[in-house]
Chain A
Amino acid sequence: MKLSYYPGCSLEGTALDYDHSVRAVCLELGINLVEIPDWNCCGASSAHMTDHEVGMRLPMRNLLLAMDAGLDILVPCAACFQRLRAADKALRADPGYWDLRKYTPDFQIIHISTLLARPEILEAIRQRVQQPLTGLSLACYYGCLSLRNPRITGAPNWEMPENLEKIVSATGATPVAWSHRTECCSGSLTLARPDIAHKLVGDIIEAAKKAGAGALVTDCPMCQANVESRQMERIPGEPLLPVFFATELLAAAFRGEYPVKQQKVHLVAPAILTDFFAQSGPAREEAV
């Protein structure tokens, strides 16, 4: 399978390791990624929240660049995914308004978990897992933008999504049932109003703990950064929950190893995974 790839700015910065795990997992699964040449920022929340024209034209430029390849576009960031979908919808509805004579590419814009949760890919995942993550209880956390608004995202189960649970199950870990899977963490406000982010993240972490989860799993780099960083102000001594990317778990399960370099990028110590692999040493040796 060959796909166009739109990493987005987070995956060059705070979520650089997400880019690495997406690429590693796709390589392992035989998915060939072709990065969109000279892609630009999608504008994220800030653009569409304050300037409709800029918020549309930034992602549109990327879509026009992707038209040459004509391949489906894989997007690991939930925010970029939503902005590219919004731009694609607007262009299809009225290309003339956006100064195009026509716009009818037959590509789809696909968020990473939608790809990974396809039945045939789940099967390939199961076959490639060297070290099943048996016994780990994980809370799948979707946040907002890969799901909402469904008129933009096309998500079929926006209130009760299941892609992350399917992916987590394929690694052998156990997804817990919990309340805050699609709650907002207020990532777009986190710098300007850290107090609000602190409150919402606190609620999310408490809910995950109550359900017995030892960590969160997400597919949104904004959520990953915000939910880990806004736990830092929690009461000392309170157990903190690390937030893993789904592809980070897959990469570790495929390799039978959780590399030290990857452990170090977390603001919240990923002890649950480090310890798991430390205890399952023999399987790791088999895998080498």
Chain B
Amino acid sequence: MNPEYVSPENGNEKFLQKLDTMGIDVHACFQCGRCSSGCPVAEYFDLQVMEVVRLASYGMEDILLASKTIWLCAACETCATRCPNEIEIAGLMDVLRSLALKKGVVPAEPRVPLFHRSFLDSVRHWGRTYEIGMIAGYKIRSGDLLSDMKLGMDMFIKGKLKLLPQAIKAKDEVRQIFSGKGKEYER
């Protein structure tokens, strides 16, 4: 991170407007550190949660989208729950991930978005999660064929993974939801 670049003067106005319309008041942060101290995955982050919030208030979108932190955040909501200013920090992480995907930023933790995509492909297709299809899709995309093989077999033997998907009737309604025609995309 170039310290001379990190400044509200170089901030991305559109990004700040987006946070504003979503009610994520990053400017309310007074750097108390409560969010960082309770985060269960903090030790794996390259930016701590309180840094993410401050960088967001400066409009430093590009730095944030390139970070590992946005992908390693587990969406546990501990930070947003404990923030004395009720800043929707987990919601901020959601915005950062979706912007990174929309803008095609190379993810610093590529396996995480591949997992989400595999999961959502299965939902888009069947209307419900099809676990075997989802896991197979993830394994193929990530090239991570070996890890968890034994676990997968154990779960299969225990009848925890169904061979066939449970499709819903109104699949067209779910496809419509995924069609990319929603309001969020128009904005």
- Which residue of the partner chain, among A10, A50, A57, A232, contacts B177 with CB atoms under 8 Å? A57
- Which secondary structure dominates where chain B touches chain A? helix
B48 lies within 8 A of chain A by Cβ: no
CA distance A49 to B116 in the complex (A): 8
CA distance A44 to B97 in the complex (A): 15
Give the chain A neighbours of B32 by CB distance below 8 A. none
Q: Is the CB of B158 within 8 A of A193?
A: no
Question: Given the known A-B contacts A54-B120, A148-B78, A188-B75, are A13 and B170 also in contact in the complex, defined by CB atoms under 8 Å?
Answer: no
Question: Given the known A-B contacts A46-B116, A149-B80, A151-B86, are A229 and B127 also in contact in the complex, defined by CB atoms under 8 Å?
Answer: no
Question: Given the known A-B contacts A41-B123, A149-B81, A232-B151, are A196 and B129 also in contact in the complex, defined by CB atoms under 8 Å?
Answer: no
Question: Given the known A-B contacts A191-B135, A193-B72, A232-B151, are A50 and B184 also in contact in the complex, defined by CB atoms under 8 Å?
Answer: no
Q: Is the CB of A196 within 8 A of B72?
A: yes
B77-103 Cβ-contact flags toward A at 8 Å (1 or 0): 110110000101010011101100100
CA distance A57 to B124 in the complex (A): 12
Q: Is the CB of B77 within 8 A of A46?
A: no
- Which residue of the partner chain, among B158, B177, B185, contacts A58 with CB atoms under 8 Å? B177
Give the chain A neighbours of B41 by CB distance below 8 A. 184, 186, 189, 196, 200
Q: Which of B123-160 contact A (CB under 8 A)?
A: 123, 127-129, 131, 135, 138, 142, 147-148, 150-151, 154-155, 158-160
Give the chain B neighbours of A12 by CB distance below 8 A. 128, 162, 166
Residue among B44, B72, B97, B120 with the highest chain A CB neighbour number at 10 A: B120
Give the chain A neighbours of B160 by CB distance below 8 A. 13-16, 225, 265
- Which residue of the partner chain, among B95, B131, B166, contacts A14 with CB atoms under 8 Å? B131
Give the chain A neighbours of B90 by CB distance below 8 A. 149
Q: Is the CB of B185 within 8 A of A48?
A: no
B54 lies within 8 A of chain A by Cβ: no
Q: Please list the 4 inter-chain residue pairs (A to B) with the smallest Cβ-Cβ separation, ordered nearest first.
A: A148-B77, A184-B76, A9-B129, A53-B184
- The residues of B with any CB-CB pair to A shorter than 8 Å are 22, 40-41, 44, 72, 74-78, 80-81, 86, 88, 90, 93-95, 97-98, 101, 109, 111-117, 119-120, 123, 127-129, 131, 135, 138, 142, 147-148, 150-151, 154-155, 158-162, 166, 168-170, 173-174, 177-178, 182-185
